[in-house]
Structures are given as C-alpha cells and as structure tokens.
C-alpha cells in the first residue's frame, strides 16, 4: 500500500534536481501509457469475444428460422393436398381403354404416310345438330 501523505517531503523535493524530476515524469508517463495500452487490448479482446458469440447466435437463429419456414411450407403443401380435390382429366366420363389425347397418329399398313385420327370431345358427341 501507499504511505499516507507526509508534509515533510519538502526537503526531498529541494534536494532533487530538475533533470531527475523530468526523468521521473517521463518514466511515469511511459508506464502509464503501457498500462493504458494493455487495458485497451484486454477490452478489445473482451468485446471481440462477445461480438463473435453474438454473430454465431444470430447465424444459428437465422438458419433455424429458414428451416422453420421450409417445414411450415411443406406442411401447408401436404395439408392442401389432403383437403383439395385432385385436378386433372375426369376418368369417369371416358371408357377405360380410351386415351386422354384427342388426336392420335398411326401408320397405315398399305401406306408409309401416317394417318391422324381425331375424336370429338365428349360434350359435342351428345348434342344433336338441327340438320341431322
């Protein structure tokens, strides 16, 4: 510990030269500067450590949020698939052997040219025209 302030140091100061006083001041300032630099290094290291942890946690939270959105969208797709009817051609209005394409190509036996056969849509087959 430091000694309490003494009033009788006047003799010491009067015996010390100006060069010694300036030397003491420069030593004290260099020691103070070194201590401040060490303190700044310690503070920067502590702040960098905290910032690194925060960045890692933020990245992990972002990835967890991404996965949550991905799985929620998949759940929504499966839920809509279970609730909505299937889209596509109706299989009940067509015979079991009929193809879904309105036109089909086939190669005739006697000719090398392909012939195209088209069938009418089911709605036009059931209607009768006034002429016939």
For the stretch 66-81, pLDDT in tens is 999 999 999 999 999 9
Q: Of 84, 117, 93, which is closest to residue 103 (Cα–Cα)? A: 117
pLDDT confidence of 31, banded at 50, 70, 90? very high
Place of tokens 């709605």: 123
Q: Could you give the CA distance from residue 120 to residue 112 in angstroms, rounded to a whole number?
A: 26
Angle at 126 between CA 120 and CA 131, to 5 degrees: 90
pTM (whole model) above 0.95: no
Q: Could you give the CA distance from residue 121 to residue 113 in angstroms, rounded to a whole number?
A: 25
Mean pLDDT of the chain: 79
| Length of the chain as a residue count | 132
């Amino acid at each position: 510990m430091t000694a309490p302030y003494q009033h009788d140091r006047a003799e010491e100061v009067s015996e010390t030269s100006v060069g010694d006083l300036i030397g003491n001041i420069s030593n004290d300032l260099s020691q103070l500067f070194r201590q401040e630099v060490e303190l700044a290094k310690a503070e920067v290291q502590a702040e960098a450590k905290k910032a690194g942890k925060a960045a890692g946690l933020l990245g992990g939270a972002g990835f967890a949020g991404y996965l949550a959105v991905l799985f929620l969208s998949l759940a929504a797709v499966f839920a809509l698939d279970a609730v909505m009817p299937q889209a596509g051609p109706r299989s009940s209005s067509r015979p079991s052997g009929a193809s879904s394409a309105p036109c089909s190509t086939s190669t005739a036996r006697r000719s090398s040219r392909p012939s195209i056969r088209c069938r009418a849509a089911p709605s036009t087959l059931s209607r009768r025209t006034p002429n016939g």
